[in-house]
Chain A
């Protein structure tokens, strides 16, 4: 639960950024999704404090902020590792072997779907389609696209993310 001890987490620069986002819409609640993205960028995930800060910055009820934040799968409600692997397993990627890559990630890095490796290096999220079906199987690591994945290439790629 949120309590009075929750601290405002946004500094002035971030508050100004949210204010500018507000200016793009006819009302302040429409700035909620972009503001949640800002909060997630700042803190890595949407903690109670982060959501409360969004609620205050936009002067919106906390219930609305929580409701919206919980609906969308790209908003994170727990801390993630240093690098977030989002691997697609939908039909086009599945046909070309995406499921084997999940097993490979699990055995090589100790990271399970929805979990984080013990060393905190990787978190893994199984994605629905990421729009890279023509170069399947594909994944996003943080915001970088990688496609035509095999066990060999996935290992080479992940070497770059320490």
Chain B
């Protein structure tokens, strides 16, 4: 398949604007500015593009909510806070194809009537920071950013806002709090950011990968785009594969490619000929799938039917040597650390789950601990302020559903048989 998002990224100078222009870059912006903003949104609507941050919300619908709000100014924020463990799919765009993202943001800003954009970049990507800053400077110098872009009277300013190591800031209202200089704690919804987001103005938060699809949609047309991948959620998708495979990495494939195919046809199959045990298909917050359940289409519609979620498309592959109790424990240690502390079920629940899992893994698990894990996770589910707590509970419940025997053995043998 022709790559759209990773186009040209094997060129070591791909991040330079001259290389991007040579490859036809910014021509999509010129086309978009010839059209009315509402026509640009219509094209994106026809494409069927859905947000790539994890929720899969239809992009044009989100945009139309913001456009319908009469308040001005409006803000466009790119969510580049890629913090979901296992996820490294946005990194190649940020580091190797930054102008694709910038072009996507200028087009989107024009469609939305937003004149100011921010890229909320996670603090752990210092290289991307430098690359984006340079790319933005170059785009200003060539008048793809700034005032009167391409002589069309359009304004769009753009700068990078660097996060500082808080996973929760990937949640859009926490991200907005963080841009405003505050602790990254999620806000109550409604009002939604599209009506009252950054500085109480209509704000559209879109993922890096989502915005990077926009230039191609304007170039090739929404209809052509919608013919790629799954019918209900079309387009190319970046899958990042890590763990016990021969060729871990980021793969751009049609949405809906099967999980099995991603692991065996693209990521080179299992390392050292080991036997597959389990896959976390969409980043650590998505429920685990056992080896016999990976014949499923990786898209927003099919994955819930398969018992998990597409999430960020971060595929973590585990072989028979990996202890599921330990993975669950490590995941909960993460969620406990990243819980923002705002709501009780998440703040207390993640700590209790971690404590129980830790003692199990260390060989001090008690009779009744499995039931206790289920109970605590059950109480958290649906009762936390934002999806972080739900995700944490879902990880535990998913592991217990498929690998309960391992938890039982840890208690029975009073040790981890894998270590």
Residues of A that sit less than 8 Å from B by CB: 24-27, 29-34, 36-37, 60, 64, 67-68, 71-75, 86, 89-92, 94-96, 127-136, 140, 143, 145
Contact = CB atoms under 8 A, between A and B. Distances in A.
Contacts, number: 136
B288 to A, nearest CB: 11
Interface residues of B, number: 52
A95 B181 contact: no
Interface stretch (B5-13, B214-222, B243-251): B243-251
A145 B326 CA distance: 26
Given A90-B334, A131-B87, A134-B240, A71 B124 contact: no
A126 to B, nearest CB: 10
Contacts of A131: 82-83, 87-88, 91, 122, 124-125
B245 to A, nearest CB: 9
A119 B226 CA distance: 60
Contacts of A27: 180, 199
A133 B184 contact: no
Given A27-B199, A91-B331, A134-B242, A129 B85 contact: yes
Interface of A is mostly: mixed
B318 A95 contact: yes
B178 interface: yes
Contacts of A67: 182-183
Contacts of A73: 164-166, 337
B297 interface: no
Interface in B173-217: 178-184, 199
A128 B83 contact: yes
Nearest to B318: A95
A32 B162 CA distance: 11
Given A90-B284, A133-B88, A134-B88, A140 B199 contact: no
B183 A132 contact: no
14 contacts: A24-B159, A26-B199, A33-B164, A64-B181, A72-B184, A91-B243, A92-B85, A129-B87, A129-B124, A133-B86, A133-B87, A134-B242, A135-B248, A145-B127
A29 B86 contact: no
B102 to A, nearest CB: 16
Contacts of A136: 242, 248
B330 interface: yes
A6 to B, nearest CB: 21
A134 B86 CA distance: 8
A128 B330 contact: no
B199 A33 contact: no
Contact of A95 (B127, B244, B314, B337): B244
